[in-house]
Structure 1
Amino acid sequence: MRIGAHVDPADPLAEAAARKADVVQFFLADPQGWKNPLPRADAQALKDSDLQVFIHAPYIVNVASPNNRIRIPSRKLMQVHAEAAATVGASGLIVHGGHVDKGDLADGFANWRKALEQHKDTGVPILIENTAGGDNACARKFDALAQLWDTVGDLNVGFCLDTCHAHAGGEDLLNIVDRVKAITGRIDLVHANGSKDGFDSGRDRHDNLFGGGSPGTLDAELVAAVVRAAGAPVVVETPGGADGQGADIAYLRAHL
């Protein structure tokens, strides 16, 4: 099982080495901005390395939004990030499930389908990630996730399971892999994160699993059990830099 971390994009190869990681995930542009990614000098080196690479789309991407000024730029940004992800040999582009604010969730699901139907295949699959907050989120509660998958599941879209988001979003981690696979049929990536906040808090604040930070509210052994059951590549998005993330990676390896 390949385990790694979300790292600074300046030098992912060096960051992976510092954490003894098999996998790296990073942003290709400002996660809070609308700018397109720039070509990377290390693109070929990343493709040629033994690392498995995942790219995270900017947080502001919300293809479910009923607001044209958000939804349409989000579709374009998802496309250009997928194209850029292909240049580094990425195994997937992670995109948050999004939300519809006070609108109808059914419209959000339909907007996701339109976005995926218009998306030009780059060889890098889109991996929808469950989210922690929002009452009108498309992928926070699993009943909504099931409706989303009924709408888009035939479009070869993948799924990224985040343990912090599930816990903070009100979904128990016990048997969560079976519940997710009953909906999506797949888990392509696990974000193995602790949580600083309690169950169903709606707050997306990651914590370390072991060592590198303060003890959170999420049992590290339960996160390890999720990783073990999922059998997918793993990324920790935890605090503490190389030391904190390295300890989390080592903990997961020791418990698999």
Structure 2
Amino acid sequence: MRIGAHVDATDPLAEAKARGADVIQFFLADPQGWKAPKPREDAGALRDSDVDIYIHSPYVINVATGNNRIRIPSRKLLLAHARAAAEVGAKGLIVHGGHVNAGDDIESGFDNWRKAFAYAEAEGGFPVPVLIENTAGGDNACARRFDMLARLWAALDGYEVGLCLDTCHAFAGGEDLVGIVDRVKGITGRIDLIHANGSKGGFDSGQDRHENFLRGEIDPELISEVVSSSGAPAVCETPGSAEDQAADIAYLRERLP
């Protein structure tokens, strides 16, 4: 099984080596900004590397919202990042599930997700798999509670869409990690990537605050069980130094078949 970490984008292959990572995830642009990614000089090296590459889209993207000044730029930026991810040989592009504004019908968020995929299809399609990630907080979120995730997947029926399961987000979002892989696969039919994270916040706290495995509120054995039973590659988005992340990677490797 392939295990790795989220790393700085300056020299991601060097960061992978420092952690002994099989997989790396990084941003192609400012995660808090709206600028499209620029071509990378190391694109060829990334494509040719034995390290698996995943790209995380900017946090500002929210294709579910009814606010057109956010929704329309979001779907355009998502497609731009998917195209840039293909240039570096990425196996997938991760994007958060998004939310609607307070007072808006959550069904409109699911329909806006459908429109985002329809828009991309009309523009030639996403060149890499788009992996929707479950989120930790918000009462108007499209992918916090798994009953909402099921409605989102129903809205996207007919489109090729993948799932990234984040252990911190699930725990802080109020979803029990025991048996979570079977529950998620019962909804989506797939798990493409695990974000293997401990949690600073407690169960159902709604706090998106990652922690290293041995310091957080989640039993670390549960995290390794999720990774093992999923059969998917795992990315540690845990805090600290390369050594801290390497310790989390090693923890998983010691416990995986």
Normalized against structure 2, the TM-score is what? 0.97
Residue in structure 1 matched with residue 10 of structure 2 by the alignment:
10
Q: How far off is 1:122 after superposition?
A: 4.0
Query: How far apart in 1 are the matches of 2:198 and 2:126?
Result: 32
Q: How far off is 1:168 after superposition?
A: 0.3
Confirm or deny: 8 A CA contact 1:153 1:184 kept in the other structure. no
Question: 1:173 and 2:177 equivalent?
Answer: yes
Q: How far off is 1:101 after superposition?
A: 2.0
Question: 1:241 and 2:241 equivalent?
Answer: yes
Residue in structure 2 matched with residue 79 of structure 1 by the alignment:
79
- Matched residue SS, 1:154: coil
1:151 to 128, 136, 155: 155
- Matched residue SS, 1:63: coil
- RMSD of aligned alpha carbons: 0.7
2:211 to 182, 189, 207: 207
Please tell me the residue identity of whatever aligns with 2:229: A
Q: How far off is 1:84 after superposition?
A: 0.3
Query: How far apart in 2 are the matches of 1:122 and 1:149?
Result: 17
Unpaired runs of 5+ residues, structure 2, are: none
- Matched residue SS, 1:199: coil
Query: How far apart in 1 are the matches of 2:93 and 2:60?
Result: 14
The percentage of counterpart residues that share the same residue type is 68
Give the paired residue count: 252
- Matched residue SS, 1:94: strand
4+ runs of 1 displaced by more than 2 Å?
120-123
Closer, same or farther: CA 153–3 of 1 in aligned 2, 3 Å: farther
Query: How far apart in 1 are the matches of 2:228 and 2:81?
Result: 30
Residue in structure 2 matched with residue 104 of structure 1 by the alignment:
105
Question: 1:114 and 2:115 equivalent?
Answer: yes
What are the superposed Cα offsets for residues 123-169 of structure 1, whole Å, 9 maximum, x if unpaired? 30110000000001000000000000011132010000000000000
Please tell me the residue identity of whatever aligns with 2:43: A
Please tell me the residue identity of whatever aligns with 1:75: R
Residue in structure 2 matched with residue 70 of structure 1 by the alignment:
70
Query: How far apart in 2 are the matches of 1:122 and 1:140?
Result: 24
Residue in structure 2 matched with residue 182 of structure 1 by the alignment:
186
What are the superposed Cα offsets for residues 20-71 of structure 1, whole Å, 9 maximum, x if unpaired? 0000000000000001111101000000000100000000100000000000
Confirm or deny: 8 A CA contact 1:86 1:122 kept in the other structure. no
Normalized against structure 1, the TM-score is what? 0.97
Confirm or deny: 8 A CA contact 1:134 1:202 kept in the other structure. yes
Question: 1:198 and 2:202 equivalent?
Answer: yes
Question: 1:48 and 2:48 equivalent?
Answer: yes
Unpaired runs of 5+ residues, structure 1, are: none
- Matched residue SS, 2:83: helix
Query: How far apart in 2 are the matches of 1:231 and 1:241?
Result: 27
